[in-house]
Amino acid sequence: QVQLVESGGGLVQVGGSLRLSCTASGSVSSLNIMAWYRQAPGKQRELVATITSVRITNYADSVKGRFTISRDNVKKMVYLQMNSLKPEDTAVYYCNYKGYSEAWGQGTQVIVSS
């Protein structure tokens, strides 16, 4: 099994930046896709960004040009650099792992205040 722990959420003003981190532990396969999802109050969970083991990335249209996903395969970590934050980015952000199994983190709250 794989366990994920997120960190880095918090309260930030509009236009500010935050960097989320996710640490994976357990039976992490060398080939995997890591992703960030988010869920705003009253809304469905949505995909924010993905990154493969060879660092191919994909982003939701709503965050393109503002968010950057990256990873450190040695440290088994994935990051989400969030710039130019907007109130609509307010959500709980979840780290996701897909390899031979799937795992979710517990989530980290991001609040963008205007």
**pLDDT tens column, 26-48:** 988 888 999 999 999 999 999 99
pLDDT for the residue numbered 30: 84
CA-closest candidate to residue 102, choices 43, 16, 7, 33: 33
pLDDT for the residue numbered 5: 96
pLDDT for the residue numbered 64: 98
| pLDDT < 70 regions, the chain | none
pLDDT for the residue numbered 110: 98
